[in-house]
Amino acid sequence: MSSASRAVPLTVTAVIEECPDAKSLVLAVPDQHRERFGYRPGQFLTLRIPSERTGSVARCYSLASSPHTDDAPKVTVKRTDGGYGSNWLCDNISVGDIIESLPPSGIFTPKELDGDFLLWAAGSGITPVMSILKSVLAAGTGRVVLCYANRDESSVIFAAELRDLAARHAPRLTVLHWLESVQGLPTRTQLSSFAGLFAGYRSFICGPAPFMAVVKDTLTEAGIPRDHIHLEIFQSLEGDPFTDVPVATVADDGRAADAEVSIDGEVHRLRWPVGGNLVDTMLAAGIEVPYSCREGNCGSCAATLVGGEVDLGEATILEADDIADGLFLACQARPLSDTVHVEF
């Protein structure tokens, strides 16, 4: 399936001013595409934004809505200094506008919603965290603690919604605000005693890189198991995933792996030539595979190596611990062994 045919026109049905520099866009999905736009808490949409210089630019925005509580998907956009896409959306988008989107992607999502969650967000990093928070409260059974850092009180996104959720879901939900104007930037020393109170909780962390690093280091020092710490990492897209890129069929000259690939429980078997990446190989075989940028920057095509060996290629957005657990980017990897077993 080509990138152009994967793009779907969505209608903006509401524009919500969350705070002075952030807006949420509620989007209507055409009936024939509802199944393709089913999403998991914490995932994102890749939107096509008009540009006078390049025709369009592609930007990824996390879904703040929950598939368990909201009828329509909602993305939240915060202005950034020099950020073309976010500033254009905040200045120009109106109810009734049409914007193209690729289907939901991303791996910053809980495997299950039961259990206790310790959620960390800074600034617009609250967006996917909000999706997880609402989903756990609606469809899970455990407690949720949110630690949310912002510059000052006026920059808190979803302030009213969080107050309402905390009141309706007491005592399951605890919301803690950290304001830089009052407490300064959070440090490991300040967070260490707090983090240690939540052994057994699963942490999901989203925000600027320095914030995520401080939180991750704090949790690690507090003895929180590595598999209970999840970070949202994706980089700005350099190319245009909405433009069709020809999928070159790499000749199987005998140097290919026998690949078994499971996608949502459906098993595909194919030959994976050593000169091609897995995304291109599957697309050439007519198999629909999750991907967005094909640059190794978004993590949409992240898969788990269950058996065999691969050359990771460019995988800088993956954590070393994730790689150790077998995670790789299907748009970058090449096979090294004769047989490979992969799960998406």
Contact 275, 284 (CB under 8 A): no
Instruction: Kindly report the CATH class assigned to 117-232.
Output: alpha beta
Residue 146, beta-bridge partner list? 119, 175
Place of tokens 């073309």: 84
Topology of domain 256-343, per CATH?
Ubiquitin-like (UB roll) (3.10.20)
Place of tokens 């967005």: 292
- Residue 96 is classified by DSSP as T
Distance CA 285, CA 259 (A): 12
The reported pLDDT for the residue numbered 237 is: 67
Place of tokens 């000259």: 253
Domain boundaries, the chain: 8-104, 117-232, 256-343
Distance CA 193, CA 240 (A): 45
pTM of the model: 0.86
Q: Regarding the domain with residue range 8-104, which homologous superfamily does it belong to in the CATH classification? A: Translation factors (2.40.30.10)
The reported pLDDT for the residue numbered 238 is: 64
Residue-level pLDDT, tens digit, the chain, 344 residues: 445 568 999 999 999 999 999 999 999 999 999 999 999 999 999 999 987 766 788 899 999 999 999 999 999 999 988 888 999 999 999 999 999 999 998 889 999 999 999 999 999 999 999 999 999 999 999 999 999 999 999 999 999 999 999 999 999 999 999 999 999 999 999 999 889 899 899 999 999 999 999 999 999 999 999 989 999 986 666 667 777 666 666 666 778 999 999 998 899 999 999 989 999 999 888 898 888 778 888 888 999 999 999 999 988 888 887 898 899 999 999 999 999 999 99
Q: How far is CA 253 from CA 73, 112, 278, in A?
A: 45, 42, 17
Contact 325, 226 (CB under 8 A): no
Token readout for 11 is 């209608």
Q: What is the pLDDT of residues 25-82, one digit of tens each?
A: 999 999 999 999 999 999 999 999 987 766 788 899 999 999 999 999 999 999 988 8
The reported pLDDT for the residue numbered 293 is: 78
- Residue 201 is classified by DSSP as P
